[in-house]
Amino acid sequence: MKKQLITAASAVLLGTTLFAGAASAQSVKVQKGDSLSVLAKRYKTTVSKIKSDNKLKSDKIYVGQTLKVNGTSSKTTTKTTTTVKAASATATHKVVKGDTLSKIGKKYGMTVKELKSLNKLKTDLIKIGQKLKVKKTSKVKTTPVKEKTVSTSSLNTSKLVSDAKAQNGTPYKWGGTTPKGFDCSGFMWYIINKQKKISRQTTEGFWGSMKSVSTPKVGDFVFFTTYKSGPSHMGVYIGNNKFIHAASDGVTVSDMNSSYWKPIYLGAKTFVN
């Protein structure tokens, strides 16, 4: 009787072990970069075990091939990669006077629903100074900026830069063209108009009316692709890869080589009249 109990217990234990082993078997589709050693490490098994289970005669496997693997997959690497990608796909927008979710969404190619979801907003209400997560704009190929000191502009570039710097800190205002508040094209119109009387133009208008240059010189105008394709933002190049412009937080000096501005740089133009 005692022998029978031991045998029965052994059978239960063996059955449990076999069941656990079967439960760990899974089908794995080979991806680019996979090898038997990579899969063995990922699923905590051995190369020889994978070869035996799949009746492989060599270590060669191909993309799309389905293999039976007995082991436990680790999710840590996948989760880490996903987190990094999600973080690199967003930027921050600081809410300024006149901003609405629909206006901000249009600027960054997002819907109001996407903005609210990304920022966990329950209503459409936002306040000045609030920081919102937004999608980064699409990247365009850029040409490295090389420093040159002489400009072919018909403007007095020293005065142009001086007049621009005098407005540093002026608040942003949609459609603004005075020191009470500027938007990017309104700011450019204001400093040009101190030397040449011209009609009010948009960023696209300035892009179309100015002469293209391969690299910006001090006093030239630099253009960027922000919330839509084509020229949608501009500023004055002041040297050392810096430019002054009316940004969402007011007139400021920015670095063209920054992680935000460099990928969306569109080109440079000089004013000729």
Question: Which residues are the active-site residues?
Answer: 184, 233, 245
Instruction: Report d(CA 137, CA 139) in Å as an integer.
Output: 6
Main-chain phi, psi angles of 67, to 5 degrees: -120, 150
Using CB atoms within 10 Å of the CB of residue 210, give its burial: 0 to 12 exposed, 13 to 18 middle, 19+ buried.
Answer: buried
Q: 182-205 burial by CB neighbour count: b if 16+ within 10 A, else e?
A: bbbbbbbbbbbeebeeeeebbbee
Alpha helices in the chain (DSSP H): 2-23, 36-42, 47-54, 76-88, 101-108, 112-119, 157-165, 184-193, 203-209
Give the bridge partners for 182, in sequence order. Answer: 172, 177
Describe the crossing of helices 157-165 and 184-193 by its angle, rounded to 10 degrees.
130
- Residue found by looking up tokens 């966990």 in the block: 120
> What are the backbone angles phi and psi of residue 101, rounded to the nearest 5°?
-60, -40
The rounded distance, in Å, linking the Cα atoms of 70 and 49 is 8
Say how far apart CA 235 and CA 181 lie, in whole Å. 15
Q: Phi and psi at residue 177, in whole multiples of 5°?
A: -135, 15
- What does DSSP assign to residue 213? E
| Nearest alpha-carbon partner for 268 in 223, 228, 205 | 223
For residue 261, give the nearest of 271, 232, 269 by alpha carbon.
Answer: 232
